[in-house]
Chain A
Amino acid sequence: MLSYLAPVYFSFLYTQKQSIVHPPIIKTSCYHCSETCDDIVRADGKSFCCNGCKQVYLLLNENNLCNYYTLDKSPGIKSKGKFISERFAYLDDETIINKLIQFSSAEQVNVVFHLPQIHCSSCIFLLENLHKINEGIITSQSNFQKKEVFITYNPQAISLRKVVELLAFVGYEPAISLNDTVKKKPINFNRQQIYKIGIAGFCFSNIMMLSFPGYFSGGKIDEAGLKETFTWINLALSLPVLFFSASGIFISAWKGIRQKYLNIDAPIALAIVVTFTRSYYEIISGHGAGYLDSGTGIVFFLLIGRWFQNKTYDSFSFDRDYRSYFPLGTTIIKNGIEKNIPVTQLQKTNRIILRNEEMIPADSILIKGNAHIDYSFVSGENTPVEKKTGDVIYAGGKQKGGAIELEIIKEVSQSYITQLWNNEIFNSKKNEEKSFIHPWSRYFTLALFTIAFGTILFWWKYDSSKILPAVTAVLIVACPCSLLLSATFTYGNMLRIFGKNKLYLKNASVIEALAKVNAVVLDKTGTLTQNSPSLVSYEGTPLSPRELMAVKNMASQSAHPLSKMIAYSLKPEVETQNVQQFKEHAGKGLEATINNMHVKMGSADFINQFDPGIISYGTHTNVHVMVNNVHMGRFAVNNQYRDGIGDLAGNLYKEKFSTYVLSGDNDSEKEKLKNIFNKNTQLLFNQSPQQKLDFVKSIQQKDKNVLMLGDGLNDAGALMQSNVGIAVSDNTSQFSPACDAILDGDNVKLLDRFIAYAKSGKNIVRASFMLSILYNIAGLSFAVQGLLSPMVAAILMPLSSISIVLLVTALSSLSARIKGL
């Protein structure tokens, strides 16, 4: 089969190589932050992506701290540059200083900052050597796990503001919240756990020691009163375990019951209560010594197990990384020059430009332009609200109409944007089917109680002395958490790995949807082709400078890939003109009145509808220009396909996906596309956004699970309709909550691997799910027979959870490596 396909497959490669000439792109990564450099800044024979990074390097170099770069791989955090602005001016205020600092005297001030950026040993190195950079800092000590740094400084030599500015400059901007009183809780909580373990361990070991004589003499101790003394001491020792060490388990079980839900702690709490009350009854009534040794042992081992479990989870916590990678960009304007930056680097007072359909990344004030803000992302209400210059516009809205200029008044909140993405409104129909594990776990506790009850009945009949140990072991050994954990941890790790490969998924359920995909629909412009202004040329009646300005101004209102390429290809001019009556006809073209000129731009169809027959259909992707109803000429856009599209097409064919290419453009590229894709691929041209949506619907009705790859704006409808909609972005702010994932343009070629990886993920979840069921069956079957001591059960339970977590994380990372991700 493979050898049969090989010639076809390689012929794609061959033709592709002939038809596409790649300009040599040498990518240099920044010595400091390891990001790819756009404009290289050099110093000391090393390259940096920006002046900020270079300055940080020079500062470290000057202070002999270049170990920072050798201790760990790519430790640097992209610098935002020096803060000349008044950003931290509030830290000069006496009352605010007093709120933040812990201790102050004339020579020394102690302060603790939370630095969310700490991520490797290099960070620790740099933060603990701050005194070498500034002599005003006396000591600095970091806490890696809490991501905190404790700094003492001399207030006569350096101010708090300067300390914060230094931290921010080297890339560790402290998260300062002025009501920091809440923050202290986690420390105490952590210590509480250690106290609980310590006390449980102490009581358990002493009870064991006092129970030994009983074990060896078969419960008969000759000397009068000695046995009673031992048991009463045991009783006294067990009280702190029951009331202090085990309190967390009881509280959690009670909270569950109050919400009418039996959680994992409910059976354990029941087992503890049963063991202890039975023992107290025996001791007080003088029947025997009870089971306090195993009772306290259960609590001790459970607490230790949970502590280990938490440690393991902490080192695998994913959510943070993947959210901080969130790939949203925006266009910032500085001294008349436009530049794309990630929204995370937006600062207060930055001016940004938003085009038609783009989203407002942070709360800001309207400076210029007619704003019609659509808040449907936030509220579901989709009538645009008109805003006047000077009005405050809140994050999450979407501009409808021409470009507007905004000034940022609040920093971007990533979590807010992620929240919008996961807003219920967009989850209405998709991803409804919950993970197949859910129904299982819901009935787990119920089934467990049934088994426990059955065990009681059985042993009641045959050997009533075994009732208590058997039931306790049953209640403790069963572990629903390993069932739940397998999915959470596999998908968590996969989200992280996808994120590393620049595919950002909305949530874990997208992985399950991705695994089911059997049809792939690709958009052409901006998805398969590259967006580069150098590929644009103009043919026709030469445009006067005034007309050129008008065209550029109009094109820059729109966020369509073609409009953007045209706008960037024209010489940058400072003068912006008043664009009136701007209208974007989705998938067709633009029109507006500028400087009393009526300008139209768009596809041949669009222009022809105003004056039929004046244009013949060309052989390129053309954007025609019409000024005052006179056809001037066209911008021909040379289609350059992205790297690796040929390979992708071949792989998709090999994996037996049905592939479709939809294009809003004319069929001039048909031959080229036919060469890249195999003959079974359906190619459709001149498709309007609505037709694309309908097409996706029609193949869905043929039992296809459709993956749609397109740009976030023009294909929004089709992305929403498809089972998995992936928006391709090239550092733009085309954020559309309608999509399920955002993919960086450079990695479109990895699409087939992404799907294969999602499929393997599902198998990993299945396998680990089976394994944890086996664990439970094995454990329960021993416990029911009374062969498992409750204490061993308490040791096994957390062990099984940890082993599942380790297994799925290792498997999903391994599978990613095999898939080449």
Chain B
Amino acid sequence: MSVLIIIIGISILVATGFLIAFLWSAKSGQYDDDYTPSVRMLFDDSPAVSKKDDEEITTT
């Protein structure tokens, strides 16, 4: 049954891996702002109407 101990050791190691991943992501600032990205993704990339095109439309 001592294999249980090994398995538990491994499971804790795996969990620690995820914990480190979490702490890393927090440290890199992924949780600093949880609002702006949700708004940003809704902005349309306004069809790159360059100024020239704009002028053409207005002049013609």
Q: Do A and B bind each other?
A: yes
The answer to whether B4 touches A142 (Cβ under 8 A) is no
Cα–Cα, bound, A209→B16 (Å): 14
Among residues of A, the one whose C-beta sits closest to the C-beta of B5 is A229
Q: Counting CB contacts under 8 A, is B10 at the interface?
A: no
Residues in B with CB closer than 8 Å to A145 are: 33-36
Partner of A124, one of B12, B26, B39, B44: B39
The answer to whether A64 touches B36 (Cβ under 8 A) is no
Q: Counting CB contacts under 8 A, is B56 at the interface?
A: no
What bracket does the count of chain A residues touching chain B fall in?
Answer: 20 to 34
Flag B41-60 by CB within 8 Å of A: 1 or 0 each.
Answer: 01110100101001000000
Residues in B with CB closer than 8 Å to A121 are: 39, 42
The answer to whether A195 touches B33 (Cβ under 8 A) is no
Cα–Cα, bound, A344→B32 (Å): 31
Flag B3-31 by CB within 8 Å of A: 1 or 0 each.
Answer: 01100100110011011001100110001
Among residues of A, the one whose C-beta sits closest to the C-beta of B16 is A202
| Stretch from A186-194, A549-557, A571-579, A640-648 forming part of the interface with B | A186-194
* Residue of A62, A65, A191 most packed against chain B (CB within 10 A): A191
In the assembled complex, the CB of A63 is this many whole angstroms from the nearest CB of chain B, namely 8
The answer to whether A124 touches B36 (Cβ under 8 A) is yes
Residues in B with CB closer than 8 Å to A210 are: 8
The answer to whether B26 touches A191 (Cβ under 8 A) is yes
Residues in B with CB closer than 8 Å to A67 are: 43-44, 46
The answer to whether B43 touches A125 (Cβ under 8 A) is yes
Cα–Cα, bound, A121→B39 (Å): 7
Residues in A113-162 with C-beta less than 8 Å from chain B: 121, 124-125, 128, 141-146
Residues in B with CB closer than 8 Å to A190 are: 31-32
The answer to whether B40 touches A128 (Cβ under 8 A) is yes
Q: Counting CB contacts under 8 A, is A223 at the interface?
A: yes
Residues in A218-234 with C-beta less than 8 Å from chain B: 223, 226, 229, 233
Cα–Cα, bound, A64→B53 (Å): 11
The answer to whether B8 touches A64 (Cβ under 8 A) is no
Residues in A with CB closer than 8 Å to B8 are: 210, 233
Q: Counting CB contacts under 8 A, is A111 at the interface?
A: no
In the assembled complex, the CB of A478 is this many whole angstroms from the nearest CB of chain B, namely 31
The answer to whether B15 touches A195 (Cβ under 8 A) is no
Classify the secondary structure of A's interface with B: helix
The answer to whether A202 touches B36 (Cβ under 8 A) is no
Residues in B with CB closer than 8 Å to A187 are: 32
The answer to whether B35 touches A144 (Cβ under 8 A) is yes
Residues in A with CB closer than 8 Å to B39 are: 121, 124, 144
Q: Counting CB contacts under 8 A, is A206 at the interface?
A: yes
The answer to whether B22 touches A198 (Cβ under 8 A) is yes
Cα–Cα, bound, A146→B32 (Å): 9
Among residues of A, the one whose C-beta sits closest to the C-beta of B28 is A191
Cα–Cα, bound, A198→B32 (Å): 15
Q: Counting CB contacts under 8 A, is A199 at the interface?
A: yes
In the assembled complex, the CB of B50 is this many whole angstroms from the nearest CB of chain A, namely 9
Among residues of A, the one whose C-beta sits closest to the C-beta of B18 is A202
The answer to whether B36 touches A144 (Cβ under 8 A) is yes
Tally of contacts, chain A with chain B, CB under 8 A:
66
Residues in A with CB closer than 8 Å to B19 are: 198-199, 202
Known: A195-B23, A233-B8. A144 touches B46 (CB 8 A): no
Known: A128-B40, A190-B32, A223-B1. A233 touches B26 (CB 8 A): no
Residues in A with CB closer than 8 Å to B51 are: 62
In the assembled complex, the CB of B38 is this many whole angstroms from the nearest CB of chain A, namely 9
The answer to whether A146 touches B27 (Cβ under 8 A) is no
Cα–Cα, bound, A206→B11 (Å): 9
Residues in B with CB closer than 8 Å to A143 are: 32-33, 36
Among residues of B, the one whose C-beta sits closest to the C-beta of A61 is B54
The answer to whether B26 touches A198 (Cβ under 8 A) is yes
Among residues of B, the one whose C-beta sits closest to the C-beta of A125 is B43
Known: A144-B33, A145-B33, A145-B35. A194 touches B4 (CB 8 A): no
The answer to whether A233 touches B31 (Cβ under 8 A) is no
Among residues of A, the one whose C-beta sits closest to the C-beta of B21 is A198
The answer to whether A64 touches B32 (Cβ under 8 A) is no
Cα–Cα, bound, A64→B26 (Å): 36
Residues in A with CB closer than 8 Å to B22 are: 198, 202
The answer to whether A195 touches B26 (Cβ under 8 A) is yes
Partner of A64, one of B11, B15, B18, B49: B49
Residues in A with CB closer than 8 Å to B23 are: 195, 198-199
Cα–Cα, bound, A764→B43 (Å): 40
Cα–Cα, bound, A146→B35 (Å): 10
The answer to whether B32 touches A206 (Cβ under 8 A) is no
Cα–Cα, bound, A460→B4 (Å): 39
Cα–Cα, bound, A802→B18 (Å): 30
Cα–Cα, bound, A477→B6 (Å): 39
Residues in B with CB closer than 8 Å to A125 are: 43
Cα–Cα, bound, A191→B33 (Å): 11
Residues in B with CB closer than 8 Å to A226 are: 1, 4-5
Among residues of A, the one whose C-beta sits closest to the C-beta of B43 is A125
Flag A59-91 by CB within 8 Å of B: 1 or 0 each.
Answer: 000101101000100000000000000000000
Cα–Cα, bound, A143→B12 (Å): 36
In the assembled complex, the CB of B30 is this many whole angstroms from the nearest CB of chain A, namely 9
Cα–Cα, bound, A205→B15 (Å): 10
Residues in B with CB closer than 8 Å to A199 are: 19, 23
The answer to whether B4 touches A64 (Cβ under 8 A) is no
In the assembled complex, the CB of B18 is this many whole angstroms from the nearest CB of chain A, namely 8
Residues in A with CB closer than 8 Å to B26 are: 191, 194-195, 198
Cα–Cα, bound, A67→B5 (Å): 61
Residues in B with CB closer than 8 Å to A124 are: 36, 39-40
Cα–Cα, bound, A226→B5 (Å): 8
In the assembled complex, the CB of A194 is this many whole angstroms from the nearest CB of chain B, namely 5
Among residues of A, the one whose C-beta sits closest to the C-beta of B30 is A194
In the assembled complex, the CB of B25 is this many whole angstroms from the nearest CB of chain A, namely 9
Flag A38-70 by CB within 8 Å of B: 1 or 0 each.
Answer: 000000000000000000000000101101000
Q: Would you mind naming 28 contact pairs between A and B with Cβ atoms under 8 Å apart?
A: A62-B51, A64-B54, A67-B43, A71-B43, A124-B40, A125-B43, A141-B36, A142-B36, A143-B32, A143-B36, A144-B39, A145-B35, A145-B36, A146-B32, A190-B32, A191-B26, A191-B27, A194-B26, A194-B31, A195-B23, A198-B19, A198-B23, A198-B26, A199-B23, A202-B19, A205-B15, A223-B1, A233-B8
Contacts from B to A (Cβ < 8 Å): 1, 4-5, 8, 11-12, 15-16, 18-19, 22-23, 26-27, 31-36, 39-40, 42-44, 46, 49, 51, 54
Known: A67-B44, A198-B26. 5 other contacts (CB 8 A): A71-B43, A194-B26, A202-B18, A210-B8, A226-B4
Contacts from A to B (Cβ < 8 Å): 62, 64-65, 67, 71, 121, 124-125, 128, 141-146, 187, 190-191, 194-195, 198-199, 202, 205-206, 209-210, 223, 226, 229, 233
Sort A-B residue pairs by CB-CB distance and give the 4 closest, nearest first: A202-B19, A144-B36, A143-B33, A194-B26
